[in-house]
Amino acid sequence: MKTWNFSKHLMSCAAIFIFLFIIAKILLPIGTSVCIIGGADGPTTIYLTNEPIFDFETIIILILFIIAIILYKPIKRYIKK
Protein backbone atom coordinates (compact mmCIF):
# COMPACT_ATOMS: atom_id res chain seq x y z
CA MET A 1 0.00 0.00 0.00
CA LYS A 2 1.36 3.40 -0.99
CA THR A 3 1.39 6.21 1.54
CA TRP A 4 0.00 9.52 0.39
CA ASN A 5 -0.03 12.48 2.72
CA PHE A 6 -0.83 16.14 2.38
CA SER A 7 2.79 17.26 2.03
CA LYS A 8 3.34 14.91 -0.94
CA HIS A 9 0.10 16.14 -2.48
CA LEU A 10 1.03 19.77 -1.94
CA MET A 11 4.50 19.29 -3.43
CA SER A 12 3.13 17.50 -6.49
CA CYS A 13 0.50 20.22 -6.98
CA ALA A 14 3.17 22.91 -6.66
CA ALA A 15 5.39 21.14 -9.20
CA ILE A 16 2.50 20.87 -11.66
CA PHE A 17 1.59 24.53 -11.04
CA ILE A 18 5.13 25.72 -11.72
CA PHE A 19 5.39 23.53 -14.84
CA LEU A 20 2.09 24.83 -16.24
CA PHE A 21 2.97 28.42 -15.40
CA ILE A 22 6.28 28.19 -17.26
CA ILE A 23 4.66 26.47 -20.25
CA ALA A 24 1.90 29.11 -20.35
CA LYS A 25 4.43 31.95 -20.28
CA ILE A 26 6.44 30.35 -23.09
CA LEU A 27 3.64 29.19 -25.37
CA LEU A 28 0.97 31.85 -25.05
CA PRO A 29 1.22 34.49 -27.76
CA ILE A 30 2.34 38.00 -26.99
CA GLY A 31 0.57 40.87 -28.71
CA THR A 32 2.76 43.48 -30.30
CA SER A 33 1.50 46.73 -31.77
CA VAL A 34 3.41 49.04 -34.07
CA CYS A 35 2.25 52.60 -34.59
CA ILE A 36 3.94 54.91 -37.06
CA ILE A 37 3.07 58.58 -36.83
CA GLY A 38 4.51 60.73 -39.56
CA GLY A 39 3.95 64.36 -40.36
CA ALA A 40 4.75 66.50 -43.37
CA ASP A 41 6.64 69.07 -41.34
CA GLY A 42 8.03 67.00 -38.46
CA PRO A 43 9.89 63.84 -37.61
CA THR A 44 8.34 60.40 -37.95
CA THR A 45 7.69 58.58 -34.67
CA ILE A 46 7.45 54.82 -34.24
CA TYR A 47 5.77 53.44 -31.12
CA LEU A 48 6.24 49.78 -30.17
CA THR A 49 4.25 47.99 -27.50
CA ASN A 50 4.73 44.51 -26.19
CA GLU A 51 1.99 43.47 -23.79
CA PRO A 52 0.67 39.98 -23.03
CA ILE A 53 -2.66 39.27 -24.72
CA PHE A 54 -3.93 37.11 -21.85
CA ASP A 55 -3.36 38.50 -18.41
CA PHE A 56 -5.66 35.95 -16.83
CA GLU A 57 -3.57 32.81 -17.51
CA THR A 58 -2.09 33.09 -14.03
CA ILE A 59 -5.58 33.17 -12.53
CA ILE A 60 -6.62 30.09 -14.51
CA ILE A 61 -3.54 28.15 -13.43
CA LEU A 62 -4.06 29.25 -9.81
CA ILE A 63 -7.67 28.02 -9.92
CA LEU A 64 -6.45 24.67 -11.27
CA PHE A 65 -3.91 24.53 -8.44
CA ILE A 66 -6.64 25.13 -5.85
CA ILE A 67 -8.82 22.43 -7.45
CA ALA A 68 -5.88 20.02 -7.28
CA ILE A 69 -5.46 20.74 -3.56
CA ILE A 70 -9.19 20.20 -3.01
CA LEU A 71 -8.90 16.80 -4.68
CA TYR A 72 -6.51 15.61 -1.95
CA LYS A 73 -9.08 13.42 -0.15
CA PRO A 74 -10.45 11.66 -3.27
CA ILE A 75 -6.93 10.95 -4.52
CA LYS A 76 -5.90 9.61 -1.12
CA ARG A 77 -8.96 7.30 -1.04
CA TYR A 78 -8.20 6.10 -4.58
CA ILE A 79 -4.57 5.30 -3.79
CA LYS A 80 -5.49 3.40 -0.62
CA LYS A 81 -7.65 0.96 -2.62
Concatenated DSSP letters of the chain: -----HHHHHHHHHHHHHHHHHHHHHHS-EEEEEEEE--SSS--EEEEEEEES-S-HHHHHHHHHHHHHHTHHHHHHHHH-
> Is the model more confident about 26 or about 63?
63
What's the whole-number mean pLDDT along residues 39-54?
68
| pTM exceeds 0.85, yes or no | no
pLDDT at 22 over 60: yes
What's the whole-number mean pLDDT along residues 25-44?
70
